[in-house]
Each structure stands twice: as C-alpha cells, then as structure tokens.
Amino acid sequence: MALDYKGTFDISFKMLETAHDPNQAKIRAYFFEKENEFFRKHIRNQKVLVAGSGLGHDSFELARYNKQVIGIELHEPLVEIAKKRAQELGLKNVEFRGGDFTQLDYKDKSFDSAVLNMGTIGTLEDKVKAIKELLRIANLVYLDFYPPTQTGLQIRKKMYEEEKWKNVRINDTRIVSDDGLDSIPISKKEMSEIVNSINARVKYYPLCDFAVMAEITV
C-alpha cells in the first residue's frame, strides 16, 4: 500500500480492511479496478508469486485466471486470515506462506511472474535487494509505484482521508498521518536507475492519475 507500518498489527489490519471496502474507499476501488484490468491482460495461465500478499485480495483475483498463485506475507496473522478466506472462496490454486519476500527459498525462475503492489516498493529500505530477489525467482516482475507529482499527491491524500487515516497531510513528497503510516513515492527516474543497476530492463504502463506499473525483466 506504499505504507510504512510503524504501528501495531491491529492498525495494519484495520487499514487493509478499509482500503478494500469499495463503499468507503472509492479512490482505492478505482485503483484496484485499473490494476485488475492490467492483471487480466498481462498475467494469465501462469504460476505467480504475490509479494506482501496481505489479506489475499490480489492473490484471489489472480487465482481466477492463473494456474497457481502463492502469496508471501511477513505478518503471520495476515497469512492465517488469507488462508481462511481462500477456503471460504473455494480456491484450490492459491496458497499463503509466511516469510520475507526479499529472502525466498525458491529455486531460480520457479515462477512466471512476481507481483508487488499497492506502492510497497516505495517503503522498502533496500529496493535493489527486493527487486533482485523477485527477478531471481520469476521471469517477470510487476510492481506499481506512486510518482511524486502534485496531482498524485493530492489524489492520494484524498484517498487516505477516505480510508480514515488520522490527520493526513503532505510532507514534501510523501504523505504522513498520526497513525504512523507513510505513503512514500518513487520517481520513474529512480526506478530506472535501480533497474539499470542490476542489468535489467523496465517498461512502464500508466494505471491511473497517481500510479504506474513497472514490468521488469532481465
């Protein structure tokens, strides 16, 4: 979610739940709609890894038209919730595992694609390590990010206000709140420099007024 979670699990869970409530989080719902349109067009009939799978929403979507989906989530309580929801949905081709997606135990090129969404790349201290690891285990890496544009900042501020962040405000190029949540952007220039530093290639696809999808391959 391009969130820097400094708070408790309860805060993280509440924010994720709210972000996926289309009746309340209308801007986020539009973003998810555009993201899912991209997934349906570019990621089909594949074995997919979802990095930072959270409550499982992306994994459930991708499981509808892919062979197998594995979600990796650092927070074990979220893993258990996602497993339960997968069972309730009757999805047989999706599973969730606890772990750090920057240190995976899969063999090289075990997956067709890896997905890292909701602007999470912006919050990572070692972006190079994360992208290198995902490229190691997958042929293609898809990650979305939020460029630091004034239009994007204003839209995202409104988006987080819809999601009931406390005292949402713009601080330079990032958005912060009293919940201890930060939404951190990354520019195309910075993304390209990271990708070039690991001898990979990147192609950009606009998702909406505040988000871009990067397709990375070696």
| Nearest-angstrom CA–CA distance, 173 and 159 | 16
Listing from the earlier edge strand, what are the strands of the sheet with 174-176? 169-171, 174-176, 182-183
For 81, other C-beta atoms within 10 Å of its C-beta total 19
pLDDT of res. 189: 98
Residue 169 has pLDDT above 80, yes or no: yes
pLDDT of res. 8: 54
Q: What is the DSSP letter of 184?
A: -
Between 169 and 18, the more confident residue is 169
Structure tokens at 6: 């400094």
pLDDT of res. 154: 97
CATH of domain 9-147+186-217: 3.40.50.150
Q: pLDDT band for position 55 (50/70/90)?
A: very high
